[in-house]
A and B are shown apart, each in its own frame.
Chain A
Amino acid sequence: MSYPTVYPTGVTIYNPKKAWSGYTIFQAREVGALLIDMNGSEVNLWEGLHGFPNKILPGGYVMGHLGDRNNNFGMQDQTDLVQVDWEGNIAWKFNQYEFIEDPGEEPQWMARQHHDYQREGNPVGYYVPGMEPQTDKGNTLILVHKNVKNPKISDKLLLDDVIIEVDWEGNIVWEWACNEHFDEFGFDEAAKNILSRDPNMRTSGGGMGDWMHVNSMSVLGPNKFYDAGDERFHPDNIIIDGRETNIICIIDKKTGKIVWKLGPNYDTSEELKKIGWIIGQHHAHMIPKGLPGEGNILIFDNGGWAGYGVPNPASPTGAKNARRDYSRVLEIDPTTLKIVWQYTPAEAGFVMPTDSERFYSPYISSAQRLPNGNTLITEGSDGRIFEVTPDYEVVWEYISPYKGVHLPTNMVYRAYRVPYEWVPQVERPVETAIEPVDLTTFRMPGAAPMGAKKTTVIEGTRPYQGDKALCVAAGDEVEEK
């Protein structure tokens, strides 16, 4: 979404009749974990509580981190994962994954958590009827970092993605490391070549290759495919996505093997070609049982730049060789690979491709399926959180006013909606509708209204046409012929 210089922040649209109302949690940039109601009232700010991401648990608990590692040495490493109560008391904490001694820093245990975690009881970290995350017991799956060497991938130091399962006492009871499954991801020789030379090298810690960059990790949970006998979708299995590789895959919890996969290439079958290239995606997860679309894979397909492969004019080396300048939210049946529902610039009402970039977040972002079939979308790069109905009507929209000082952006990594009942500490708020503003009459003080003072009529003018003859061809123009 491209903003003008002046734009409103806070809630800009709210239709209480069509929205699935509740509280929304997100990380207000450089401020803390912020819980807002549907009118944007700030119900609780857990000041300074980092969120990569923040999640709300029943009872008004919030999860987040006390801090992150010095960026000079670590890439997006959070020091810990904590669960704090309504008043900010720490109810649970994990940090004992790796003992870190960075130059000039206090030696300490760190979780090195990043991007995601899931508390037992709920597969995806958002509201699912009958699947409440546990708050006083249960295991937690945590996505963490580990620096490894794996000459199969590259001779450079790699920043690997590891999933650990931690019990309530903090014991690690299961562990899965991405680099150990390199052969299962299906990279072709061109991809292996550039991966070997440049596994997405980052400068932190003297250089490390963030080769996969897993940004989402959740459990499948009970689902109709497993119920029908498809073992690939065992409820304990875990789905992850790696933004640098354009891969979305399911890990068998028992064997650790990859049992289902989309990417890294999207031109190897007719089904994949119809999906089109998923690029730099975030928050790929299976819609849990009990929600509309259950069993389907919901993905925020960012676009932007990602992937390893054959060099092309946009990618002279083959690094980040897939590109697209708009985003899509896709809902895909994992057995047929058909797109069941999507929200793209077209569904948003923008002319494609000339206005496609108006729905575009090239990094972060997410999508949550709500119980009434709506989808809460975080178009993260511009701090926009909005809720759309299945037929694409925006029934709630919020623009984060929190712009960072150290990083001057109002980005929102991921937002979650939870029911009012999960926060018993406050009274249910009054819901006040906010009608969409008529942009043709919305003016800043001093700005003149629309409408010519004089209209001059010219004889012989012809009516205006549609968009068929724009300078840029529409993406579907050939198909239409």
Chain B
Amino acid sequence: MSYTIYSATGCTRCKIVKQVMKERGIDFIEQDMKAEGKEAFQKFYAANRKAIFRGPDGVEFPLLHDGEVIRQGIGASVAYIYSGMKLDGFFSVGTLHKEWVDGIHVSGGNPAYAAEFIEVLRYIKNTNNMKLQLDTNGLNSAILEQILTENLADVVIMNVLGPKELYGQLVGKDVDLAEIEKSIALVTKFPEYKFQTTVAPVVRQDGDISYLTTKEIGATAKLIAEATGSMKNPYLVKLFKPKECKDERFKGVESMATEALLPYRTAARSHQVFVEIEKA
């Protein structure tokens, strides 16, 4: 298997990924898209456009390619080098820059590989002094607890998906609500944290699809209040973006205007006083 790293001149994250490979004795070819590798990168990009994330600031580097699999960003690349595909779901491409690394999803991967996941975090944060922003939806609370114990996160954002009675449906599987509540409580112990809820569409009992109601967002804010014992948590209510949704059932849902979030904010403020709404 031959590895190629597509990098950009001066990119710290690229240097870290290259270092991991050197430490592990893995040979690779580097193609610096700002230097001699420009043509090679363009060719690679043209052939794999769909698999490469392009954010508002352009393509995020590094890109790791082993001939079959592409991994983009520091987290996903290091995880792949460490553990192959075992850690898929824990990492995606981030959008933060400089010393910050995001795209790290505590709830996204298989908890059986918690040790490997933690090892990657240690490498990025402790060995390379990067700052980590993690997110969670409450699943894998034991991993979150270990991350807290080892001070492996600088910021944690928790997506509190909805009220207790809808949590399982919103996650897509049965959940242990005690675990969700445990995560909510843990999140407040990190150096910086924020709760957020997307006003998402839900399949109702009669089969109809409708957005979470204001009452349900109020109940979500209440869940946070009960689990944290505080009404003063930073809490953001977000808009659902049908175009970005991967669930085919919800792609046709009519998008909601920013103004429509105002009554949700009012409802949430009964239980959390620092609620803000996302601006489109």
Interface residues of A (CB under 8 A from B): 96, 99, 101, 109, 171-175, 180
Contacts and interface: CB of A to CB of B under 8 A. Distances in A.
A174 B266 CA distance: 12
A99 B266 contact: no
Contacts of A171: 262-263, 266
Interface in B235-280: 259, 262-263, 265-266, 269, 273-274, 279
21 contacts: A96-B266, A96-B269, A99-B232, A99-B269, A99-B273, A99-B274, A101-B232, A109-B273, A171-B262, A171-B263, A171-B266, A172-B262, A172-B265, A172-B266, A173-B262, A173-B263, A174-B259, A174-B262, A175-B259, A175-B262, A180-B279
A175 B259 CA distance: 7
Contacts of B273: 99, 109
Interface in B202-248: 232
B279 to A, nearest CB: 7
A146 to B, nearest CB: 10
Nearest to A172: B262
Contacts of B265: 172
Interface of B: 232, 259, 262-263, 265-266, 269, 273-274, 279
Contacts of A173: 262-263
Contacts of B232: 99, 101
Given A99-B232, A99-B269, A99-B274, 16 more contacts: A96-B266, A96-B269, A99-B273, A101-B232, A109-B273, A171-B262, A171-B263, A171-B266, A172-B262, A172-B265, A172-B266, A173-B263, A174-B259, A174-B262, A175-B259, A175-B262
Contacts of A96: 266, 269
Nearest to A165: B262
Which one of A96, A99, A101 has the greatest number of beta carbons of chain B within 10 Å?
A99
Contacts of B279: 180
A99 B266 CA distance: 12
A99 B275 CA distance: 9
A388 B27 CA distance: 89
A160 to B, nearest CB: 13
A170 to B, nearest CB: 8
Nearest to A109: B273
B212 to A, nearest CB: 18
Nearest to A256: B259
Nearest to A170: B266
A48 to B, nearest CB: 27
Contacts of A180: 279
A101 B230 CA distance: 14
A369 B232 CA distance: 47
A174 B262 CA distance: 7
Contacts of B269: 96, 99
A79 to B, nearest CB: 15
Nearest to A100: B273
A293 B186 CA distance: 64
Contacts of A172: 262, 265-266
Contacts of B263: 171, 173
A286 to B, nearest CB: 24
A399 to B, nearest CB: 44
Contacts of B274: 99
A171 B214 CA distance: 12
Which one of B232, B262, B263 has the greatest number of beta carbons of chain A within 10 Å?
B262
A96 B263 CA distance: 13
Contacts of B262: 171-175
A175 B274 CA distance: 17
A99 B259 CA distance: 20
B172 to A, nearest CB: 33
Contacts of A101: 232
A292 B74 CA distance: 69
A172 B265 CA distance: 9
A96 B265 CA distance: 11
Contacts of A174: 259, 262
A334 to B, nearest CB: 27
A180 B273 CA distance: 23
A465 B274 CA distance: 70
Nearest to A176: B259
A267 to B, nearest CB: 34
Contacts of A99: 232, 269, 273-274
A107 to B, nearest CB: 8
A109 to B, nearest CB: 8
A172 B275 CA distance: 13
A362 B94 CA distance: 52
A226 to B, nearest CB: 22
B170 to A, nearest CB: 26
A96 B262 CA distance: 13
A99 B234 CA distance: 12
A172 B261 CA distance: 10
Contacts of A109: 273
A109 B275 CA distance: 13
Contacts of A175: 259, 262
Which 9 A-B pairs have CB atoms at the shortest separation, nearest pair first?
A99-B273, A171-B266, A172-B262, A173-B262, A172-B266, A175-B262, A171-B263, A99-B274, A174-B259
Nearest to A177: B279
A173 B263 CA distance: 7
Which one of A96, A109, A172, A180 has the greatest number of beta carbons of chain B within 10 Å?
A172
A473 B269 CA distance: 61
Which one of A101, A174, A175 has the greatest number of beta carbons of chain B within 10 Å?
A175
B21 to A, nearest CB: 37
A350 B151 CA distance: 74
A101 B279 CA distance: 24
A171 B267 CA distance: 9
A174 B277 CA distance: 13
A98 to B, nearest CB: 9
A331 B273 CA distance: 44
Nearest to B267: A171
A171 B266 CA distance: 6
A49 to B, nearest CB: 26
A173 B265 CA distance: 10
A164 B274 CA distance: 17
A180 B262 CA distance: 17
B224 to A, nearest CB: 15
A172 B260 CA distance: 11
B181 to A, nearest CB: 24
A391 to B, nearest CB: 47
